[in-house]
Amino acid sequence: MKLYLKRNYMTPGTRVIRNTLTRHRFFKGLVAGILMIAGCHAGYGQDGSTAYNYLNITSSARIYGLGGVNITTVEDDLSTADQNPGLLGYEMSNQVLLDYMRYLGNSNFAGVKYAHAIGERGAWSAGIRYFGYGEMKATDETGVIIGSFSPKDVNFSGTFSYDITSHLRGGISLKFLYSSYEQYSAFAVATDLGINYYDPDHDWSFSAVVANLGGQLKKFNENYDRLPIDVRLGATKGFSGAPIRVSVTLWNLTKWRLPYYDSGDGTTSEPFEKKDSFGSNLFRHMVFGVDFTPSDRFFVSLGYNYKTRTDMSTYKRSFLSGFSLAAGMNVSRFGFSLAFGQPHSGATTLMFNLNMNLQDLVR
């Protein structure tokens, strides 16, 4: 693929000293920040619930097809940098990504993002994403319906990335989060730190991300809502002679125990059985994905997220719960991707991406 060659270049001799010093400072600061913040928040995420969980819903059809969480897929495609700013690169310059998702219930999400190169090693992107949850009834304290309202969240984001070496790339994203729920509103700021190591000779990709660091600047009321701070690690391996890549992503690493309750078949009043074994906790931290890419113009992705499956009541699951599927193709100057998932038997989610390069459109 084109990106594999572009990431594996030699630095011009006239820039060696300057770039070596710059990337050393950037790398040192980025890694130190990731390790320090991850350590500080590892205990903080042990209890309580978080708001802003929509930040964990990807805008990329390809990532959604890979299980909904993926930080290591290296492609010349702006959508793959959705959950790791360290995957954004200058090779994505002038790309525009449009996304739409039909989520659970009457929820509809949509967004747009643009990327541009900064010299030969850097890139930036900016985007906005809207999360609408449909119309809901408004009632007074006695339960009498007095009207309706449409809650919504909006995410304004900006990302910067830099090639530290020919194999190592780091990035940072800043997100401004606005929420409006009936007469209440809130504003928060969050940041993601990400780094990716890519070896094109052996087709290995490794990444680390600290996601959703930050907090509320304006609260809904007197209560403070936490952001879903997370630490993620991932690896992707391609195989020579076969157009297949396998990914494993670890997430929710700020806490080990992720118990769930087995609700049975829904026909008895027996107490739910708590599942909290070592194996259950381990697999609820893991997301598996397989990419089939026979050419630069076509891909199929399959993912499995055990946590998504077990978060659903046992009797409401279907065979497809936890699985997701995506496919995409490049036609002329446009790239189209479509993803499908069915978290439980009564809900189907669909996502669509349209990717284009503005330079190609004006040629």
List Cβ neighbours of 48 (8 Å cut-off, separation of 6 or more).
226
Cβ 76 vs Cβ 2: under 8 Å: yes
CATH of the domain at 171: 2.40.160.40
- Residue-wise DSSP of 184-209: EEEEEEEEEEEEEEEETTTTEEEEEE
- Beta strand 152-163 with 145-149 is unpaired
Taking alpha carbons only, the member of 357, 363, 318 closest to residue 116 is 357
Q: Tell me the C-alpha to C-alpha distance, in Å, between residue 74 and each of 127, 148, 203.
A: 20, 44, 10
Distance from C-alpha of 188 to C-alpha of 239, rounded to nearest angstrom: 42
Torsion from C-alpha of 75, 78, 80, 84, nearest 10 degrees:
110
Per residue in 134-163, pLDDT (tens digit) is: 888 888 788 888 888 899 999 999 999 999
Distance from C-alpha of 101 to C-alpha of 109, rounded to nearest angstrom: 5
Is the confidence at residue 358, as pLDDT, over 50?
A: yes
Alpha helices in 213-331 (DSSP H): 278-283, 306-311
**Which residues sit opposite 345 in a β-bridge?**
none
- What burial letters (b/e) apply to 190-219, b meaning 16+ CB within 10 Å? bbbbbbbbbebeeebbbbbbbbbbbebeee
Mean pLDDT of the chain: 85
Tokens of 221: 């009321």
Distance from C-alpha of 97 to C-alpha of 92, rounded to nearest angstrom: 11
Distance from C-alpha of 199 to C-alpha of 131, rounded to nearest angstrom: 36
Domain count, the chain: 1
Per residue in 184-241, pLDDT (tens digit) is: 899 999 999 999 999 999 999 999 999 999 999 999 887 888 999 999 999 999 998 8
Per residue in 35-65, pLDDT (tens digit) is: 344 333 333 333 345 679 999 999 999 999 9
Q: Tell me the C-alpha to C-alpha distance, in Å, between residue 85 and each of 81, 109, 155, 193.
A: 6, 21, 16, 7
**Which residues sit opposite 197 in a β-bridge?**
168, 206
Helices H / strands E in the chain, number of each:
6, 18
pLDDT of residue 13: 36
Distance from C-alpha of 170 to C-alpha of 192, rounded to nearest angstrom: 11
Q: Could you tell me what percent of the chain has a pLDDT over 70?
A: 83
Distance from C-alpha of 267 to C-alpha of 260, rounded to nearest angstrom: 19
pLDDT of residue 224: 86
- Residue 63: which domain range? 2-362
How crowded is residue 145: how many other Cβ atoms within 10 Å of its Cβ?
A: 9
